[in-house]
Structure 1
C-alpha cells in the first residue's frame, strides 16, 4: 500500500493531519532506500563459489547435541502446539511439527546467518517475520550482523527479503494482532559504530515499504516494542543507547496512542541519567493502560541495576514495583531485560535475567523458577540452565511455557514445575576444538555450554548422543574455551574458561585445579585476558604451557607456576593498534624457540629466542582482531595469519602470508568472499595447500593462496571457528559457532595432488574398508547406531550422467544407482542397503537388507567412461564393547 493510498483510506483521522504527517516522513527521509549490507555482496560470491567448486566432497555432521546452544527465539503455534520454532543466534531457525521429536532447519542459504528475532502472526501462524542480526553486543568475534527483514507465508518453507537492509541488529518484531501486514521492528543498528538507520520501524503493507516512526540519534537504537492485544492503537517502545557502550542518557521508554504514528517520551517516575541500559517492556492483555518496564539502571551499583516499573495510566506515570534490590542481572542487563505478563492475570509477571524470576503480586515480591528438568539427550546437566533469553506463554493456557536460554530450548506444561529440555538439535556454538590423535576423540569448548568430547561418528538424532562433558559448572553450563590433552598421560586434560581461567583436570583422580596465570605480587603490571584466551601445550615438552594475555605467560611445571616472557604486547608502536590482550599465540613446529603473538587490534609480534626478545611486525596489516596464527610446518620463516573485524563493524576479509617471520606480509584474500575470516591453516602434508574458515564456510587453496575454492558440500552457511586435522584418517575437522562439528576426508585431494591428476582425466579414488552394521545377537536385527556409510569418491573431467554398480566375487551385480555427475570431485555416500523389502506379515523383520561382509568390485560407468575400484566390507564390533560408551 502506498502512503497516499493509506492516507485516503483512514477516514477516522482528519486528512490535513495525515497529510502533514506524510510530509514529515518525506522530509525526514524515512522512505529512502537503505544502503545494502556488505554481507549481501559477499553472500553472492559465496553462493557462486559453492555452486562452481570442483571440490564437492561431503562434510559429515558429527553433532553434538548434548550441550545444545543459546536459544534466543522461541515461538509456538498455539493452534497446533506440536509445531514449535527455536532460533539460535548463530545457529539459524529450527522447526518441529511433532513436539520436538525431530527438527528441521528452515532458514538456510540466506544472506544472513545471525538471527535477531522471529515472530508468528497472531492472526495467521503460517505468516512469519524474521529479523536478522544478533542483538547481543558481545565482543567475541561471533556476534553476527544481519541484512534486514525476511518474510515467509508458508510457515518457513520459503522466504523473501523485505527490506531494512542496513539494520545489522534487530532485537524485536511485533505484529498487529488482527492484521499480519502491520508490523513493527526495533532496530539496534550497527553495534560498534554510529549509523542513522536505527530506531523503530513500521510497515503497513507486509514489508513492501517501511517508515522510521521513532528515532533519537545515530548512537541510539530501539530495543523493544509491545502492542496492546486489547487495543492495538496503544503501544509501548524502548530506545537503547547502544554505542559506544551499553548504556547512556538517550535510553528510555515511549508510548503511542495512534497505532505507532506518533510517540511520547515517558519520564514521570522512570529513572534517568547517563547510564540507562537495555529496557524490556510488556503490556497487559486486557488493560492497554497497564504495562511493565524492566530496566538495566547502571546508575545504581551492579547488584541493584535491575529495576521493574509499572504504569496503570497508559505510561503517564510509573512506579517501581519493589522496595529492595532485584538481583537478576547484576551489571549484565544488556544480555536480558525481557519481561512478560500472564495473558489471564496481569499481576503475574515473569522477568528474564540470569534466572527466571516470577511474581504473583505485580512485581512487589519475586520467587525463582527452577523445576525438575528431563532431557531428550541424557547428560550431566541436572537443572534449568541460567541466562534466560526469551519466554513464550500460551495465551489460551498460561501454564504452558516455552523458554529459551543459553542452554537451549525448554518447554513446561505446569508453569515451570517440570521441563523438557530439547537438547536434540545440533547447534553448538564452538570457540575451539582439539583432536586426540591416538583415538580420534574430539574436544570442544562452547559458548556457555561447557566443554564436551566425543567420537568422530556421524550424527544420528534418532539415538542418544555419544558426546559427554569434560566439565560442567554448577549451573549446568559455563563458557568452554581451549582444551589440550597431555600426550604422555591421557588422564591429564587442560581446559580453559573465559578471561584466562585455566584448569588442569586429572581424570584418574577426578580432581581439577586452577592453573590460571598470575604475575608476581610485587609486579607493577596488570595481567589481563580477552574473553577467549589463547593458550597451548608445547609439542616439545608435555609439561610446558603458553598462555596469552597482554603478556605471554609460560609454565614449565604443568601450570603450577608461571612467568611472563614478553613485554606488554598490548602496547604497540602504532597508537591505532593499542590493544587489550592477545587474540592468538603460536609456536613453530620447526623451531621451539620461534613464538608468535597477535593482539585484538592488529599488533603482530615474533620472538626467535623463546621469548627473551620480541619484535613487532605490524606494518601493512589491518587494525583488527588477530584470531588465527599458523606458523608453517614446512618453511621455518613462513607464517600465515587471519583476522576478523566483526568487533569493529568491519566485515572485510583479512588473510596474510609472510616468508620472513611477518616482517613483510602479503594479502592472500583475492578469490575469497570479502567477509570476516576466523581461521587459517596450512596442510600438514603439503605446503601448497591452505584452508581458510570464514563466517560462512571453508575454502581450500592448492597454490598457497593465489586462488581459492569452496570446500565440500552439505556444510551449512555457518561461522567457522576452528579447523584441525586428524592425521591417520586424513580428515579435516571443523568446529562451527552455531552448527556443531563436521568432518571431511582429504584423501581424494591428496591422491589427486600426489598423482598429478589432470583436470581432463577421470579418476575413481581408493575406497576405505567399511564395516557393515552390527547385528544384535539376540534379535538378529541390525543396530542402526553402528551404521557407517561407504564413501565412493571420483573425479569427472566434465559433468555427465553416471552409474555406480557393485559386483560380488562371482561378478553378480548386487546394487546400482544412477546419478548426475558434476565436473570435478564427486562423492556418493552409500548406506550399504542392497535391497528394501516390505511385507504385510504381522511379525515381519529385516525391511532393509545390508551388504554382507566380503570383497567387492565397484564400477562407475557412463557412455565413454569406465572406472573401477576394489571395495571391502568388514564385520563391525558390538557397540557395547567400545570404550567409554562411544
Structure 2
C-alpha cells in the first residue's frame, strides 16, 4: 500500500534525522553549574587554596593524544581530573578544560588534518559504581588547541566512549555515545556531524539499553566506518552487543555478525581498521560466553565475515567492561595491540601475542615498578610507530622504542582520592587512598612542579598500583597506621618496620550469613580508645585489640524495612564523638541504622531519606541527638543534592540544601570550635555555612571545580585539608574564619587578621643560595567592608619599606599569598645566582592601607634550619 505524500511529509517532520542536539534534554549539570558560578562570584570567603599534589603516584588517564606534527605537544585527559596539555614534551602541564559544567571526560580526538581542532567527549567511559564515575553533557570543541571551548550539543549523552574525526575534513566526526550508565535513555548510539558539531544526525540506534562503545574511520577510504554497540544498562546482558559497518560515511549501518560471537555474554568491543586497507579490521571482544573472555577477531572483507585470529586464550583481561580497546600500527596492519588489564602485542595479525612491559623511568622518583595495569587508550605515531603513548590507571607513559622503555609523566596533580586521614605528629602528615594508585602519605606543604614531592607510598601493590581506600592513624601512636584496599581489605602497618598484617574481619564459623562489602568499605578507630576499631560491611564488627580479634555486633543491616532500600553493605559508618556506644551506619541505598548500646540492638531510622548512597555521617560533637548526613545518587544517575540533618537521632530528617547548587554532595564536616559552622564537600568544591546549614557560600575562589571526596581539619594549625577525586589534595588555613566568628559575622569594619609565623627558604651551604623547593608563600588575609582598593606594605624595624603590592579587594575575606621576595635582580654574569632577595629573619610590621584605614600587624620571620 502506498502512503499519501502528505502523510510521508508529516512523518518526516516528526522523526527527523538531523539537527538533534536541540531536542535532547539538558543535563542537570548545566543548571547546577550556573548556580555554582553565581556562588563563586558572590562568595565573601576568598581564601587561596594551595595544591599539595601529590604526583609521585599519578592518576588515571582516560584518553591521550599527541600532535604528530609537533610531538612535544601532548594531551592527557584524566577521567575526573581535567584535560592537561604540554608543549614542551611533558615538562610543564596546564589544565585547559577549566570552568566547564562537566568534570568527566570519556575521549578526546585531534583532527588529523588540523591538530589544533580538538573534539572532547564529556562523561567518563569507565563504568564503575564507586560514586565518582563522572557523567558529562555532550561534545565540546576547540579550534585553537584548547585555549577556548564551545559546547556542541548531545546534552543527554552523559557518557561518551569514542570520537573519530575524518582524516581530511575536520568538520566530519562520528561519536560513540554510551548514554546513561545506570538508567535507560534513548539518546545513545552513533552520532555524526558534517558541519563541525553545529548539527548532529543519530545514525545508529539499537534500543534504550544499548550504547555505542567504539567507532573508527578508515584512513584510506573514509566512507568505511566500523562501530561497536554494547548492551550494558541496566544490568549486563550483552544480547545486543555487536559490530556494525557503514560503507557510506556513516549515513547507514549494517550489523556484522557472520563469524562474530553473539549471546548474552558479549560485552565491550574495541575496534581498529587498517590504515591502508578499509576492508581489514580487528575487534577485541569481551566474550563472557567463554572462561577466558578476551578474544581478537579479524575481517578481511569489510565485516562480511569475521574469524578469531588466535588459538590460545588471550589472558590480558578480567574486567573488559572497563577498557577493551585495540589498535593497529599505521604502517603495518599485521602489527596490533590489545588493551586490557595488561597490554598485548601481536606482530602477525593476532595469531600470537606477547605481553608489553619494558623498563619504566619516572619523571619524578617513585617506588612503583613496571608499567601500570588497566590500559585505557593507546596513541601510535603515524609517522614513527615506534613512538607510542598509553594512558592507564597509573597515568601517562610514553615510549620511543615500541615499548622497550617508557617515560612515566608523573608530574600532573590529578590524584583521584577517596579518603584522607591526619596523624598527630608536629608537623602532621596526611594519609590518603586513591583510585588504583595505592595509598600515600606526605606533608601539608605546597606542591612545586619544578621538584619531586615529599610524598611516599603507604603501600603499593606488585603491579605499581592497587586501589587505596580508607586510611586511619592510631591517635596515640602515629607509628601504627591502618590502610585498606577494595571490599574491606584492611591492614595494620608498623611504619618503623614497614610491615603490615591483614586485620579484615570474618563472620563466625557457625554463622550462616554472607558477608558483603562495598568497594570503599568504611572502618573507624574509636574516639575514646585508639585500640578499639569498627568495621562495616552488611554486618558490623568491633575489635578492642587493633583488629587482631573481632566480635560481630549486628545483624545483616543491608535488609531494610523498605524493599527499595535493599542494599549491598555500608556506605558510611560513624561513632558519636561525645557518647561511647552510640554508633551509626548508612547503606548504599539510603538505609540508616543506629545503636545506642554498642551494637546490642540496632534500630532503622530511614524514613524521609532518598534511596541514595550514604557517604558521610557526622554525629555532632555539640549535641548527642544531632546527626548530619550526605547521600549521593551518582551511582543511580541522580545528580541532585542530598544533605540532611536530624535533631532526634534519625527519627526525623530535614533536607539542608539551602542555597547550595543542586549537585551531588559527598562529605559534610563540623567545625571543631564553632557549633554553627559547617563545611560541605560537593561535586564542585567546598562550601561553608556559618548558620548551621541555613545558607552556604563557596569557600575560596581558587579551588578548581572538582569533586571533593573527603576533608579534615588539623586542630592545632587550623588547616583545612581537602581530598579531591581528580585534582589531588588542597589546603587552606581557617584561622581567619575563626577570627571572624569570634568577632561576629559579618564584620562591619576593615580588619587585618593574624599572620602566621613564617619560615624563609632554606639557605644552602657553601654558596648561600636559596633552596627553592622550600620556598612557600605566606597567606596575608584581611576583611574588606566593600569592594575597594587596598595596599599591603612590609616595613623593617627602622620603618624602611621593603615590599608592597596593590590589591583589588572584594567585600569579605581577601587573601594574598606572598613569596617573601623583597627584591629581584638580573645579571648577565656567568656565575650569578642570587636573583631573588628574600626577607631576612626578624620581626616586621605589615601595614594594610584600605579606604581611610591604616591597619598594622606583626610579621615574624624565622630561619628554616632543615630542608
Taking structure 2 as the reference length, what is the TM-score of the superposition? 0.98
SS in 2 for 1:857: strand
Asked if structure 2 preserves the Cα contact closer than 8 Å seen for 1:233 and 1:259, the reply is: yes
Asked if structure 2 preserves the Cα contact closer than 8 Å seen for 1:25 and 1:211, the reply is: no
Q: CA deviation at 1:24?
A: 5.8
- 2:15 is aligned, of 5, 8, 27, to 27
Asked if structure 2 preserves the Cα contact closer than 8 Å seen for 1:676 and 1:695, the reply is: yes
Distance 1:385 1:21, change over 3 A: farther
Is residue 381 of structure 2 the alignment partner of residue 391 of structure 1?
A: no
SS in 1 for 2:75: strand
In the alignment, the residues of structure 1 paired with residue 747 and residue 795 of structure 2 have an alpha-carbon distance, to the nearest angstrom, of 28
Distance 1:812 1:22, change over 3 A: farther
Is residue 213 of structure 2 the alignment partner of residue 213 of structure 1?
A: no
Asked if structure 2 preserves the Cα contact closer than 8 Å seen for 1:770 and 1:788, the reply is: no
In the alignment, the residues of structure 2 paired with residue 96 and residue 433 of structure 1 have an alpha-carbon distance, to the nearest angstrom, of 30
Aligned to 1:745: 733
SS in 2 for 1:499: coil
What does 1:446-525 align with in structure 2 at a 5 Å threshold?
446-525=434-513
- 2:573 is aligned, of 585, 602, 616, to 585
Asked if structure 2 preserves the Cα contact closer than 8 Å seen for 1:555 and 1:562, the reply is: yes
Q: CA deviation at 1:505?
A: 1.3
Aligned to 2:76: 86
Distance 1:239 1:24, change over 3 A: farther
SS in 2 for 1:167: coil
1:211-270: per-residue Cα shift (whole Å, max 9, x none)? Answer: 000000101111111000000001100111120123421110000000000100001000
SS in 2 for 1:650: coil
5+ long unaligned stretches in structure 1: 1-19, 880-886
Aligned to 1:36: 26
- 2:367 is aligned, of 375, 380, 383, to 380
Aligned to 2:751: 763
What does 1:689-700 align with in structure 2 at a 5 Å threshold?
689-700=677-688
Q: CA deviation at 1:544?
A: 1.3
Aligned to 1:286: 276
Is residue 324 of structure 2 the alignment partner of residue 337 of structure 1?
A: yes
Q: CA deviation at 1:840?
A: 2.2
- 1:418 is aligned, of 405, 408, 419, to 405
In the alignment, the residues of structure 2 paired with residue 144 and residue 27 of structure 1 have an alpha-carbon distance, to the nearest angstrom, of 31
In the alignment, the residues of structure 1 paired with residue 848 and residue 478 of structure 2 have an alpha-carbon distance, to the nearest angstrom, of 44
Is residue 668 of structure 2 the alignment partner of residue 680 of structure 1?
A: yes
- 2:395 is aligned, of 393, 408, 430, to 408
In the alignment, the residues of structure 2 paired with residue 442 and residue 136 of structure 1 have an alpha-carbon distance, to the nearest angstrom, of 28
Aligned to 1:612: 600
- 2:266 is aligned, of 262, 276, 301, to 276
5+ long unaligned stretches in structure 2: 1-7
Asked if structure 1 preserves the Cα contact closer than 8 Å seen for 2:443 and 2:454, the reply is: yes
SS in 1 for 2:658: coil
1:619-638: per-residue Cα shift (whole Å, max 9, x none)? Answer: 01101000000010111111
Asked if structure 2 preserves the Cα contact closer than 8 Å seen for 1:329 and 1:336, the reply is: no
In the alignment, the residues of structure 2 paired with residue 684 and residue 530 of structure 1 have an alpha-carbon distance, to the nearest angstrom, of 30
In the alignment, the residues of structure 1 paired with residue 103 and residue 9 of structure 2 have an alpha-carbon distance, to the nearest angstrom, of 36
In the alignment, the residues of structure 2 paired with residue 463 and residue 581 of structure 1 have an alpha-carbon distance, to the nearest angstrom, of 42
Aligned to 2:416: 429
Aligned to 1:706: 694
What does 1:196-235 align with in structure 2 at a 5 Å threshold?
196-235=186-225
Asked if structure 1 preserves the Cα contact closer than 8 Å seen for 2:139 and 2:152, the reply is: yes
What does 1:833-844 align with in structure 2 at a 5 Å threshold?
833-844=821-832
Count of residue pairs the alignment pairs up: 857
CA RMSD of aligned residues (A): 1.3
In the alignment, the residues of structure 1 paired with residue 199 and residue 522 of structure 2 have an alpha-carbon distance, to the nearest angstrom, of 46
What does 1:772-787 align with in structure 2 at a 5 Å threshold?
772-787=760-775
Asked if structure 1 preserves the Cα contact closer than 8 Å seen for 2:417 and 2:432, the reply is: yes
Asked if structure 2 preserves the Cα contact closer than 8 Å seen for 1:246 and 1:334, the reply is: no
What does 1:363-374 align with in structure 2 at a 5 Å threshold?
363-374=350-361
Q: CA deviation at 1:778?
A: 1.1
Asked if structure 1 preserves the Cα contact closer than 8 Å seen for 2:225 and 2:249, the reply is: yes
Distance 1:667 1:811, change over 3 A: same
Q: CA deviation at 1:870?
A: 1.0
- 2:240 is aligned, of 245, 250, 260, to 250
In the alignment, the residues of structure 1 paired with residue 439 and residue 363 of structure 2 have an alpha-carbon distance, to the nearest angstrom, of 19
SS in 1 for 2:641: strand
1:298-318: per-residue Cα shift (whole Å, max 9, x none)? Answer: 1222xx111110000010000
Aligned to 1:7: none
Aligned to 1:14: none
Aligned to 1:600: 588
SS in 2 for 1:41: helix
In the alignment, the residues of structure 2 paired with residue 796 and residue 197 of structure 1 have an alpha-carbon distance, to the nearest angstrom, of 49
SS in 2 for 1:753: helix
Distance 1:550 1:167, change over 3 A: same
Aligned to 1:651: 639
1:471-516: per-residue Cα shift (whole Å, max 9, x none)? Answer: 1100010000111112233222111100011111122333221111
Distance 1:22 1:208, change over 3 A: farther
- 2:144 is aligned, of 151, 154, 165, to 154
Aligned to 2:812: 824
Aligned to 2:51: 61
Aligned to 2:431: 443
Aligned to 2:288: 298
Q: Which 10-residue stretch deviates more, 562-571 or 173-182?
A: 562-571
Taking structure 1 as the reference length, what is the TM-score of the superposition? 0.96
Q: Which 10-residue stretch deviates more, 560-569 or 612-621?
A: 560-569
In the alignment, the residues of structure 2 paired with residue 541 and residue 821 of structure 1 have an alpha-carbon distance, to the nearest angstrom, of 47
Q: CA deviation at 1:30?
A: 5.0
In the alignment, the residues of structure 2 paired with residue 575 and residue 26 of structure 1 have an alpha-carbon distance, to the nearest angstrom, of 41
Aligned to 1:311: 299
In the alignment, the residues of structure 1 paired with residue 708 and residue 263 of structure 2 have an alpha-carbon distance, to the nearest angstrom, of 41
Q: CA deviation at 1:425?
A: 0.4
Q: CA deviation at 1:662?
A: 1.1
In the alignment, the residues of structure 1 paired with residue 671 and residue 478 of structure 2 have an alpha-carbon distance, to the nearest angstrom, of 26
Distance 1:704 1:757, change over 3 A: closer
Aligned to 1:12: none
In the alignment, the residues of structure 1 paired with residue 597 and residue 314 of structure 2 have an alpha-carbon distance, to the nearest angstrom, of 54
